[in-house]
Amino acid sequence: MISTFSGLPLRLGQKEEELEGMCARRLQAPVKYFKILKKSLDARDKRDICWVYTVECAPHEVEKSAPPLPRISKPMPKTYIAGAGPAGLFCALRLLSHGIRPILLERGKPVEERQKDVERFREGGFLDPTSNVQFGEGGAGTFSDGKLNTQTNSPYHREVLDTFVRFGAPAEVGYLGKPHVGSDRLRGVVRAMREEILRGGGEVRFLSQLTDIGMKDGKLSAVYINGTKEEADELVLAIGHSARDTFEMLLSRGFLLEQKEFAVGVRIEHLQESIGRAQYGKAFSLLPPADYRLVSHASERGVFTFCMCPGGVVIPAASEEGGVVTNGMSDFARDGKNANSALVAQVRREDFGGDHPLAGVEFQRKLERAAFAAAGEYRAPVQLTGDFLAGRESSRFGEILPSYARGTAFAPLESYLPRSVTDALRAAIPDMGRRLHGFDRPDGVLTGVESRTSSPVRIVRGEDLQAAGKRGVYPCGEGCGYAGGIASAAADGLRIADALSGKYM
């Protein structure tokens, strides 16, 4: 019999090996099987910070293995997946487990080549519209922080974490309360997933964009890849939140798309040491780099922090020429000098200025082009927090220096963000500063524009998970409006694979 014990505390300086002794005392027997299920930090009392564990254990050896998945019995369908982000990769792996060999299409490059393109652009080189932070193997999350926490209650979440570990993510990803892989390690995980798909008989095609779809009597009949037609039985749309040209194509082919609300704003940077002291007090140096998540309702428009990157950098994330987009990135060590986070305000449908399904896309594009005009040549517009709150322009940096490598130019937030957003941010920052000491410090750096927080579009699907009125096509993941990060997108990929395979059992 396996026992589960929750709430086991370890004070700072205690070793995890002591947990087995705690379990042995509770079992009143030596521990032969032991596994950590969850580890989280309790920092509510800065004088008594501790790690809290949930573990399972037994006084005997335990072998655990997942039962095999059901495999298809009907002829194998010719199945395409458009997009090799987390939704597409996990969908492909799951289809292989069911006996379906998918063809995975990716408009960008393999992650090894993509990394070179991203670094070149980051350091001042040219933008490749097909290979950048948004497009390429691994999806947009590859160049972030590899965060795998999610606020959804998907039954697939545990499997997602275990799968990341199986393909090379640190073992702690399987049990940390706030797991992260780190951008440096995530690239290796993505490559290992690709190799597994190829070993299983799947195909992976790079620089292969879905450019059109053929339908016959309401059922998928063909896909067009870089303009070339191929017959198809099933198609999974794991296209990502920046596939604006694909959204346009789907709309022209009669797919039902609807506006989806999202959020826009800036990245805010502080010194990582300051965040650590604010969160943990004197014990900060004994703990992993501190993070935070803040929400403010100081105005009628909600403001929140998002994609917080401890010890990270702000990176250029444009995918279209003539626009500035920012994102945050941390490696596994999270050992950089600065902390950064998206600081964003809700955007509503009435802000888009129309009922067109792609009005949100145009809203994002307008902000990105305005940010480009404000700073020029893919530099990022920046303003210090104190100057923004006081309504004056910035002229020099304080102790906190921007980490955006392509260079910055001072420009007020009002030069590229709408008044509704800047008013909300101006009310929220002092409110957040009352809950996290130093969040509103005057020399904090606000870098714009953070415009790609989530997809501005939802491709409507029915209860069978197929696109409304389009049999054989499955909208999937964050880009289609059904996820909000790496873990939830991966879980949706698993869900879609199970639904698609079920038709052939």
| Residue (of 346, 380, 381) closest to 360 by Cα position | 346
Query: Do both 146 and 100 map to the same domain?
Result: yes
pLDDT digits (tens, 9 = 90+) for 384-393: 999 999 999 9
Strand pairing report for 33-42 and 210-216: unpaired
Residue ranges in 376-442 assigned as alpha helix (H): 385-390, 419-433
Read off the CATH number of the domain in which 493 is found.
3.50.50.60
274 phi, psi to nearest 5 deg: -65, -40
Residue 66 lies in a domain: no
Backbone angles phi, psi at 25, to 5 degrees: -65, -35
| Interhelix angle 486-502/157-166, nearest 10 degrees | 100
Please report the beta strands in 425-504, taking only residues with DSSP state E, as ranges in sequence order.
445-450, 457-459, 473-475
Please tell me whether residues 413 and 439 are part of one structural domain.
yes
| Residue 146 confidence (pLDDT) | 86
What is the pLDDT at residue 30?
97
Give the pLDDT band (50/70/90) at residue 318. Answer: very high
The answer as to whether 67 is a domain residue is no
Residue 150: pLDDT over 80: no
Tens digits of per-residue pLDDT, 466-498? 999 999 999 999 999 999 999 999 999 999 999
Q: Is 153 domain-assigned?
A: yes
Q: Is residue 434 part of a domain?
A: yes
Mean pLDDT of the chain: 96
pLDDT value at position 380?
Answer: 98
Looking at residue 354, its pLDDT comes to 82
Among residues 407, 422, 450, which one ends one of the domains? 450
| 175 and 131 in a common domain | yes
- Does 63 fall in a domain? no
Nearest to 185 by CA among 200, 172, 168: 168
Asked whether residue 74 is assigned to any structural domain, the reply reads no
pLDDT of residue 65: 84
Q: Assess whether 192 and 205 both reside in one domain.
A: yes
Say what the pLDDT of residue 64 is. 83
Structure confidence at residue 154 as a pLDDT band (50, 70, 90): confident
Residue 152: predicted pLDDT: 74
Shared domain check, 278 and 142: no
Phi, psi at 35, each rounded to 5°: -150, 135
Structural domain that includes position 124: 79-259+455-502
Burial class (CB in 10 A: 0-12, 13-18, 19+), 350: exposed
298 and 162 co-located in one domain: no
Per DSSP, what are the bridge partners of residue 257?
Answer: 459
Residues whose CB falls within 8 Å of the CB of residue 270, separated by 6 or more in sequence, listed in order: 338, 339, 340, 400, 438, 439, 441, 444
Same domain, 288 and 395: yes
SS (H, E, C) 282-313: HHHHHCCCCCCCCEECCCCCCEEEEEEECCCE
- Which of 413, 433, 450 terminates a domain? The answer is 450
What are the tokens at 268?
A: 């805010």
Domain contains 357: no
Structural domain contains residue 356: no
Residue 134 and residue 246 in one domain: yes
Other Cβ atoms less than 10 A from the Cβ of 138: the count is: 28
Residues 403, 301 share a domain? yes
Distance CA 351, CA 374 (A): 21
214-228: pLDDT as tens digits: 999 999 999 999 999
Structural domain count, the chain: 3
- Chain segment 73-97, per-residue pLDDT in tens: 999 999 999 999 999 999 999 999 9
- Distant-in-sequence, close-in-space partners of 385: CB < 8 Å, separation ≥ 6: 268, 429, 440, 441, 442, 443, 444, 445, 446
Domain at 34, CATH number: 3.30.70.2700
Task: Categorize the per-residue pLDDT at 394 as very low, low, confident or very high, splitting at 50, 70 and 90.
Answer: very high
pLDDT for 145 beyond 90: no
At 285, list the tokens.
């140096």
Quickly state the pLDDT bin for 308 (edges 50, 70, 90): very high
Q: Looking at residue 268, what is its pLDDT? A: 98
Does residue 149 carry a pLDDT above 90? no
Task: Kindly state the percentage of the chain with pLDDT values over 90.
Answer: 95
Radius of gyration of the chain (CA): 24
Q: Is residue 443 located within the same domain as residue 342? A: yes
What's the rounded Cα separation, in Å, for the pair 338 and 268?
Answer: 10
- Give 26-76 pLDDT, tens digit per residue: 999 999 999 999 999 999 999 999 999 999 999 999 988 888 999 999 999
Structure-token match 């969040």, residue found: 439
Question: What secondary structure does DSSP assign to 113-178, as a single string?
Answer: HHHHHHHHHHTT---BTTBSSSSSTT-GGGGTT-B---S---TTHHHHHHHHHHTT--GGGGTBSS
Same domain for 104 and 24: no
Co-location of 243 and 304 in the same domain? no
